[in-house]
Amino acid sequence: MSYTYDLPDFKRYLNDHNPSYRTDGLIFWQNRIPLPIDLFNRIFGESDYFFELYLDHLLVAVIAHAHLKTILGEYINFPELPGNAIRPRLREVSRKIAEILDSTKSYRKTASILAEQLGIDAYTPDSTRLGEALCHQGKKYSRLYCPAAFRAVLEKFHPDALLQIATDNTDMFGNIIADHYDIYRSGFSDALAIIFNLLLEFRLTCGGRSSSVHRIALTLEDGTDGISVYLKRTRDGSLWEPDYSDDHILRINPEHPFFCFANDAGATDCLYELLYTFSKFENSQFSDAQRKLLENMRQEISRELWIRHDK
């Protein structure tokens, strides 16, 4: 299945990966762990920032593995990295990292290849930022996730690094995201790690590029059709979505508060007709950009109506 790098397709990608990853109202469920949908959406919206931060951690882990004594002397072992015990020596550590970046060109080349794969064109290794990453207090680099595409790059340029990096639980980055948002780690870090790891894979699956959606003029055909409707939870939690199975074109989420409101108000038939027309138009689009615009509109309208009518 092909995907576009946008929020609706990321939700679809997660659900395709595991049906337990789903949107239900204002909650995104990662198995049995609930995340506020706004937090989930925000992580996706700030994904480029997190990808750069991830590259900082992966690159400094590779550098520290090869130059541990040069950077840190004898007082710390690699399995203890990252850690805030380094912070008192941050300026010195950053200076040594800068010297290594200047003297060993393969690190900048590695960073350039990885950044290109993620579509982070502006990424440049910065010694101060790398030093700061090395001071993070939390899970260690043995538990940093490394996609297969990245492993192939490291195996080519820095094969020894993989002996101690990304060898264990692959849940290290969840703590970093939790710290960024200043939220309780134990409640969210595992779910955040899984979501971020799949976000990395999703970005690579999409070729490292985001979608570009432009405004369009909406034009509908005249005429009427019979309305065929499924009352069934939508895959992304929206109030409605086109249904591509059989001859049906509309699926309405009966758990959405606005559906309950319209039903109580005696406006169900009008709601069906309105959403059917929207779904028919969305389903008829041949342009990916137009379809993605409508899909994003559907999710945002559904979210606003959920907030307004949730009791």
Task: Note whether residue 220 is domain-resident.
Answer: no
3-state secondary structure of 29: strand
Tell me whether residue 119 is in a domain. yes
pLDDT at 271 over 80: no
Q: Is the dihedral of CA 276, 278, 279, 281 positive or negative?
A: positive
Same domain, 256 and 162: no
Q: Which residue has the higher pLDDT, 228 or 49?
A: 49
Task: Give the domain-ending residue among 147, 170, 193.
Answer: 170
Residue 273 lies in a domain: yes
Taking the C-alpha atoms of residue 138 and residue 233, their distance in angstroms, rounded to an integer, is 38
The structure's pTM equals 0.74
What does the pLDDT read at residue 247?
58
Contact predicate 280/287, CB 8 Å: no
Is residue 150 in a domain? yes
pLDDT 10s digits, 105-133? 999 999 999 999 999 988 999 999 999 99
| In a shared domain, residues 233 and 166 | no
Please state the rounded mean pLDDT for residues 55-71.
97
Residue 242's pLDDT is what?
A: 79
- The mean pLDDT of 151-165, rounded to a whole number, is 96
User: Is 75 part of any domain?
Assistant: yes
Among candidates 191, 206, 192, which has minimal Cα distance to 50? Answer: 192
User: Of 170, 202, 219, which one is at a domain's C-terminal end?
Assistant: 170
On average, the pLDDT of the chain sits at 85
| Domain contains 21 | no
The answer to whether residues 159 and 244 belong to one domain is no
Residue 228 is predicted with a pLDDT of: 63
Residue where a domain stops, chosen among 136, 170, 204: 170
- Are 54 and 162 in a shared domain? yes
Could you tell me if residue 234 is inside a domain?
yes
Domain identity same for 143 and 241: no
Could you read off the pLDDT of 197-242 as tens digits, one per residue?
999 999 999 987 654 433 333 333 444 445 567 777 787 788 888 7
pLDDT at 306: 83
Q: What share of the chain is helix, strand, coil (3-state, %, to 5)?
A: 60, 5, 35
How many domains, in total, are found in the chain? Answer: 2
Residues 131 and 51 in one domain: yes
Q: What is the pLDDT of residue 223?
A: 44
**Token code pair at residue 74:** 């004898």
Radius of gyration of the chain (CA): 23
CA distance 222 to 298: 22
pLDDT in tens, 162-197: 999 999 989 999 999 999 998 876 768 889 999 999
Q: Which pLDDT score is estimated for 238?
A: 83
Residue 298's domain comprises 229-309
Q: Do 165 and 234 sit in the same domain of this protein?
A: no
Q: Please, which pLDDT band fits residue 256 given cuts at 50, 70 and 90? A: confident
> Looking at per-residue confidence, does 268 or 143 come out higher?
143
CA distance 40 to 247: 33
Answer whether residue 175 is part of any domain: no
- Cβ contact 41:7 at 8 Å: yes
Tell how far CA 125 is from the center of its chain: 22
